[in-house]
Chain A
Amino acid sequence: MTTATATQETQTSYVDAISQALDEEMSRDERVFLMGEDIGAYGGAFKVTDGFLKKYGEWRVLDTPLSESGFVGAAIGAAMMGLRPVVEMQFADFISCAFDQITEVAAKNHYRWGAAVPLVIRAPFGGGVHGGPFHSECPEGWFFHSPGLKIVAPSTPYDAKGLLKAAIRDPNPVLYFEHKFLYRRIKATLPQEEYIVPLGKADVKRSGRDISLITYGAMVHLALEAAEVLQQEGIDLDVVDLRTLIPLDKETIYASVRKTSKAIILHEDNKTGGIGAEISALLTEDCFDCLDGPILRIAPPDTPVPFSTPLEEFFLPKVSDIVAGARKLAAY
Chain B
Amino acid sequence: MDQAVIAEEIKRSDLLDMYFYLRLTRSLEDRITALYRQGRIVGGVYTSHGMEAIAVGYASALQPDDVIAPFHRDMGVFLIRGFSPGEIIAQYLGKQAGPTKGKDGNVHMGDLKRGVIGFVSHLADNMPVAAGAALAFKIRGESRVAFAGTGDGGTSRGDFHEAMNFAAVRKLPVVFFCTNNQYAYSTPMRYQMAITDVVERAKAYGMPGEIVDGNDVAAVYLASRRAIAKARAGEGPTFLEFKTMRMHGHSAHDAATYVPRTLLDDWKTKDPILRTEQLLMQLGYGDESYFHEVGDRAKKDVDAGTEFAEHSPLPDGRETLVGVFATPDEVLP
B43 at the interface (CB under 8 A from A): no
What residue in chain B is nearest A170 (Cβ atoms)?
B328
Q: Quick one: CB contact mask for B106-140 with A, threshold 8 Å, 1 for yes?
A: 00111110000110101001111111111111111
Q: A103 to nearest B CB, angstroms?
A: 10
B 159-201 contacts with A by CB, 8 A: 159, 162-163, 165-166, 169-170
What residue in chain B is nearest A72 (Cβ atoms)?
B128
**How many residues on chain A are close to B (CB under 8 Å)?**
43
**B165 cross-chain contacts in A, Cβ below 8 A:** 65, 67, 70
**B162 cross-chain contacts in A, Cβ below 8 A:** 65, 67, 69-71, 73
Stretch at the interface among A76-84, A122-130, A188-196, A208-216: A76-84
Which of A59, A114, A116, A148 has the largest number of chain B CB atoms within 10 A? A114
B324 at the interface (CB under 8 A from A): yes
Known: A70-B163, A104-B125, A112-B100. A78 touches B326 (CB 8 A): no
Known: A104-B125, A148-B325. A81 touches B137 (CB 8 A): yes
Bound CA span A67–B169, Å:
12
Bound CA span A109–B69, Å:
13
Q: Assess whether B126 is in contact with A105, with CB atoms less than 8 Å apart.
A: yes
Q: Assess whether A113 is in contact with B120, with CB atoms less than 8 Å apart.
A: no
Q: Within the complex, which residue of B125, B146, B158 is in contact with A105, where a contact is CB–CB below 8 Å?
A: B125
Q: Assess whether A73 is in contact with B163, with CB atoms less than 8 Å apart.
A: yes
Known: A111-B324, A148-B324. A73 touches B118 (CB 8 A): no
Q: Assess whether B333 is in contact with A76, with CB atoms less than 8 Å apart.
A: no
B 139-160 contacts with A by CB, 8 A: 139-140, 146, 158-159
Q: Assess whether B331 is in contact with A73, with CB atoms less than 8 Å apart.
A: no
Q: Within the complex, which residue of A70, A82, A112 is in contact with B136, where a contact is CB–CB below 8 Å?
A: A82
Which of A70, A80, A148 has the largest number of chain B CB atoms within 10 A? A70
Q: Assess whether A101 is in contact with B104, with CB atoms less than 8 Å apart.
A: no
Bound CA span A50–B324, Å:
36
Q: B126 to nearest A CB, angstroms?
A: 7
Q: B140 to nearest A CB, angstroms?
A: 8
Known: A65-B165, A67-B162. A116 touches B326 (CB 8 A): yes
Bound CA span A75–B131, Å:
9
B 277-333 contacts with A by CB, 8 A: 323-328, 330-333
**A71 cross-chain contacts in B, Cβ below 8 A:** 128, 162, 166
Q: Assess whether A112 is in contact with B131, with CB atoms less than 8 Å apart.
A: no
Q: B328 to nearest A CB, angstroms?
A: 5
A74 at the interface (CB under 8 A from B): yes
**A70 cross-chain contacts in B, Cβ below 8 A:** 128, 131, 159, 162-163, 165-166
Q: Assess whether B163 is in contact with A112, with CB atoms less than 8 Å apart.
A: no
What residue in chain A is nearest B140 (Cβ atoms)?
A83
**B128 cross-chain contacts in A, Cβ below 8 A:** 69-74, 76-77, 101
Q: A74-B135, A171-B325 are in contact. List 11 more A-B contacts (CB 8 A).
A: A65-B169, A70-B131, A70-B159, A71-B162, A73-B159, A77-B136, A80-B133, A81-B136, A82-B332, A110-B323, A113-B110
Contacts from B to A (Cβ < 8 Å): 67, 99-100, 103-104, 108-112, 117-118, 120, 122, 125-140, 146, 158-159, 162-163, 165-166, 169-170, 323-328, 330-333
The 7 closest A-B pairs by CB, nearest first: A77-B132, A73-B128, A70-B162, A74-B132, A116-B326, A81-B136, A82-B332
Q: List 14 A-B contacts (CB under 8 A).
A: A69-B159, A71-B166, A74-B131, A77-B133, A82-B136, A82-B331, A101-B159, A112-B118, A113-B100, A113-B108, A114-B111, A115-B112, A116-B326, A171-B330
Contacts from A to B (Cβ < 8 Å): 33, 59-60, 62, 64-65, 67, 69-83, 85, 100-101, 104-105, 108-118, 147-148, 150, 171-172
